[in-house]
Amino acid sequence: MRLIPCTEEAHAAAILAILNDAIVTSTALYDYKPRTPENMVAWFATKRANGFPVIGAEDENGKLLGFASYGTFRAFPAYKYTVEHSVYVEAGHRGAGLGRTLMEAIIAEAIARDVHVMVGAIDAANAGSIGLHERLGFEHSGTVRQAGFKFGRWLDVAFYQRILATPLNPVDG
């Protein structure tokens, strides 16, 4: 397994497949309908326009096994040092440490890019993701009860955050 920067040309279809599996089989994403290839064009355009990383993990044959990224937390200027991250692993490769490897890589990337706070919005019933975040130093910062409705039930979303030592010299504006 090797970590690589994902590109639209090489990885959009594989990322789409991983996301769509999460949409139709889990509460990891609070979407109802699978995304389309057109959605991925916009997704990658947003990542490129904002300089947001997309880090993938490939096997020895070049198959994408999972990815991590981050994006805008809230669209107000004073949030510029805070990002919301995500990590997704293909169903057949979960539970083998790949999520941790991807999270460590995206945290390192955030530090290198002077991010101060990383936020994960996690379905409160997702014990695996919560445990991973806690092992990586994320702390529970709040739960919005019944924030989503999927699969015939209300879903609580738990927020986990990690404060990084960067940037050394934050500025207003």
Inside any domain, residue 137:
yes
Number of domains comprising the chain: 1
d(CA 51, CA 57): 19
Inside any domain, residue 171:
no
pTM of the model: 0.95
Q: What CATH number is attached to the domain comprising 113? A: 3.40.630.30
d(CA 101, CA 131): 14
d(CA 39, CA 74): 20
> CA-CA distances (angstroms) from residue 101 to 68, 89, 92?
10, 11, 16
The tokens of 18 are what? Answer: 């991983």
Inside any domain, residue 172:
no
Inside any domain, residue 107:
yes
Amino acid at 67: F
Inside any domain, residue 8:
yes
Amino acid at 22: A
C-beta pairs of 14-18 under 8 Å, 24+ apart in sequence: 14/56, 14/63, 14/64, 15/40, 15/43, 15/54, 15/56, 15/64, 15/67, 15/88, 16/40, 17/90, 18/64, 18/66, 18/67, 18/88, 18/89, 18/90
Q: Which domain holds residue 148?
A: 2-163
Arithmetic mean of pLDDT, 103-130:
97
Confidence class for position 107, pLDDT limits 50, 70, 90 = very high
Which residue spans within the chain are E strands per DSSP? 2-5, 54-58, 64-72, 82-89, 117-123, 139-150, 153-163
Arithmetic mean of pLDDT, 139-154:
98
The model's pLDDT over 62-98, given as tens digits with 9 standing for 90+, comes to 999 999 999 999 999 999 999 999 999 999 999 889 9
In the numeric block, the tokens 């991973």 are attached to: 132
In the numeric block, the tokens 């994403």 are attached to: 29
Inside any domain, residue 170:
no
| Mean of the per-residue pLDDT values of the chain | 97
Q: What is the pLDDT of residue 71?
A: 97
Q: What is the pLDDT of residue 91?
A: 92
Q: What is the pLDDT of residue 173?
A: 86
C-beta pairs of 34-37 under 8 Å, 24+ apart in sequence: 37/12, 37/13
The model's pLDDT over 14-55, given as tens digits with 9 standing for 90+, comes to 999 999 999 999 999 999 999 999 999 999 999 999 999 999
Inside any domain, residue 168:
no
Inside any domain, residue 120:
yes
The tokens of 119 are what? Answer: 């936020």
